[in-house]
Amino acid sequence: MKKIIAIVCHRVTNPLVHTVKYLSTFENNTIVLHVDSKANKKDFEFLKSKNTFFTDERVNITWGGVSQVMATLELMRFSKSFPYDYFFLISGDDIPAMSNEKLDSYLYSNYGKEFIHYQDDRNGYVNPDDRIKFIYPSCFYKRELSLLDRIKRKFFHKTKRIFYYNNLYAENSHRLPTFYKGTNWFTLTKSSIDFILDYVDSNNLYLEVFRNSLCADEVFFHSILKVSGSINFYNNSNAKNNALRYIDWDSGPQYPRVLDDNDMEKIINSNSFFARKVGENADEEFMLNCINH
């Protein structure tokens, strides 16, 4: 099974090094990294190998902004240079939760299915249209908020339908697909990646509508895939999510929880492809032990 492991990263961490070094030892894998343009690419070059590459174009990624979509599209476009069956989108905070052999076996058993999660009763509902139909100010693209940022956000929520409506969305809503939301990390077949790229290239308006959106990567790709009536989606209600990522949004104290040794058994038993997010200084033995063989 030929796989693209596409990684969005902005710093060198133990999970990133572990994931790249482990998965690059298998010839059927091609590792492609997008390094945030704010970072020094030279810091990552020790990871390069015969099957580990870096995207030519780099995006300045802002949390919550459309830049995450742009970086993902760069990874997709760059990956067209390689033969592959499945494309995995992960972050530099992810580690394998399944051995490469078991991963291949699982993909063969479900060949042709798309591992992408759409919100359902396993998570709270968020209206995907609200992510696009307003123009979000810069205070929304921050994880740590000042008092002024909090005041600005409150003002936005009280006045968004007056001052912040996305007119491009309003004027072209009849030309846009129905929007869907889900988990922004996924595993898709090459045919679905090609479909996404063809759709974006053929519909310039679609990307423009998302320019000032919030957390667009949770809506952008999910909505495109639903346009096609021939997509075969993987569904397992017993799994954490249909993307088969182990992410703990319940335990805290951070959300999502930063995983450590105490989470190892849960990760192993989750039957997930990857676990996230893992602390930057995570121990190598812990990360190796998380792999379900």
pLDDT in tens, 76-116: 999 999 999 999 999 999 999 999 999 999 999 999 999 99
Chain centre to alpha carbon of residue 194? 17
Residues 118 and 139 in one domain: no
Alpha helices of 80-119 — where are they, by DSSP H?
Answer: 100-109
b/e map of 24-34 (b: 16 or more CB within 10 Å)? bebeebbbbbb
Quick one: 36 and 167 in the same domain? no
Task: Give percent above pLDDT 90 in the chain.
Answer: 93
Q: pLDDT class for 68, splitting at 50, 70, 90? A: very high
Do 74 and 215 sit in the same domain of this protein? yes
Among 175, 198, 214, identify where a domain stops: 175
Instruction: Let me know whether 97 and 193 are in one domain.
Output: yes
Candidates 155, 210, 153; CA nearest to 179 is 210
Domain residues for 192?
Answer: 3-124+181-289
Query: Do 187 and 60 share a structural domain?
Result: yes
The CATH code of the domain that includes 220 is: 3.90.550.10
Same domain, 278 and 152: no
Same structural domain for residues 71 and 47? Answer: yes
Residue 230's pLDDT band (boundaries 50, 70, 90)?
confident
Query: Using CA atoms, how far apart are residues 92 and 15, in angstroms rounded to an integer?
Result: 7
Please state the pTM of the whole predicted model.
0.95
- Tens of pLDDT, residue by residue over 141-190, are 998 899 999 999 999 999 999 999 999 999 999 999 999 999 999 999 99
Last residue of a domain, one of 113, 144, 175: 175
Q: For the chain, how many structural domains are there in total?
A: 2
